[in-house]
Structure 1
């Protein structure tokens, strides 16, 4: 099959592409604008594959999207392109509205027009998978329950509000026009190639440089963590087995307070890369973020019972792999932090606290 994947140079998108090329016979076209978070170095291992193609295209450019669809004739669309950094959305929300809402609208419309022109058989197998977030559900607070596919939407930040808006558009295009869409809502991802401003890589890299490890408030916020390669497998499973019109929650069953995550990173580094003093001594508490949700937790039961997917990694095993990867790839991190990957597209072409 021919997969058209938006945002494929990003953290999750690149993991999906590496999975598809390594473990399937599918063809993949990567559509990415290459913003600050898009890094083609994350795709070096697949860049020479005859089953991989790259198009530098903004999803807000409908004309260019039409060209890509006409050229590659995809069987499925996996939509991962998004502005995703909460702190950035608080400071500059316009880019989130433009990409996450307007961009999703253009992609839906181009997909719908393309789908209508397909043969009856092709229309029957075409799929549009929209990859969303658990943050659209808002804050669980002290409640013991977890988010399900029927949880009410209550986004707290400009980022989560823009993703919630996109979810509503996708459902409307399925209900109104019959476009065969699916939606996934996923918990926090971590793993190799994560942009260094995100929490886990930031803590690893700051610790290695003996810099402060900034933690919002007292670090009591709870998040459910999922290893990115497990997420990539889940998305492919939803694409292959999911029912159009349905939503599937993807989670790791790994709820951790932010301070626990930072402390576990410190303890791992103490074991495998010891410094002159314990890394926990670098932890510093800073003023909390505006509108900071207390707890997110995903119930992935539907994905497990209906599609047969479950995560392979525990948080402990995934975190150990992640820390080891960053220790082995400090040069990649340095190039990202210095912005060299943006100045050199390899011919293919702010920091978050806990």
Structure 2
């Protein structure tokens, strides 16, 4: 197989060096050039024809969003992975970039401190490889047209007149490649879904609120970032906040279910953990649980998917053909935890069917 050709774009020479060193630890990746700003990136893209570009957001001369738009106009087949700062502003800009056509993002652990980028080296490599795989599959939509149509405004504002006495919960676990995959799936779910919905996306703490807002804007279902004490409600979705595990607590007196946020277990590889949340939902809802495991590295969620299926719940895993990283869903499938295996574009239909089956 040909090596993946990558162009690294960043205004910091130290960051360009760090990203190059990280990527070149993988024998399947070749860094064919670097660029110091957006204008330089456009020139290098024309000259080198990379498969993937890693693109800094905050740059002089030409910023990342402007660069992204021009790069995709100039080279529609190229895939772009944004490199973002861990700030609220950085999160908003990152999701704007993804709406414009960026494949995914990797967050800088400490602003622009290049040495800390090595902490997310595995994630960066996985996302570059996932971007190259997506390029080979052929882009599903044209550059600049990846933004889904905004959802029809909800007739009942979130939190008002909600049905908090319900019987079914859908839990979706996802990691690398998740934002784009979720934006393909969740807008297809109906506003009257007969279940509460929880999304556990491995994401930094400063990113989950912006991501939940993005989902709320484009999905018929209402979405919000979960907070301690929030009540689950039928036909509403919540995103587990970065930095905490989301677990559920039953309030027997009021017959509702509340969110509890915890740092335990501390030794989880991912916080929030898909396994922790799925197990908590299963403990309360048993066979009325629908577990969904999508693209991501590792095995988070696979063990809980097995438990859900053994308890009589319904489990759905993303098929290899569409998974950006076929790690988490593969683990669930190989362990026998996936009753249904489907490509991402059919997952929403399978969720609706599963909810109606219960």
Q: Normalization by structure 2: what TM-score?
A: 0.35
Q: Normalization by structure 1: what TM-score?
A: 0.35
Q: Which has the higher contact order (CA 8 A, sep 6+)?
A: 1
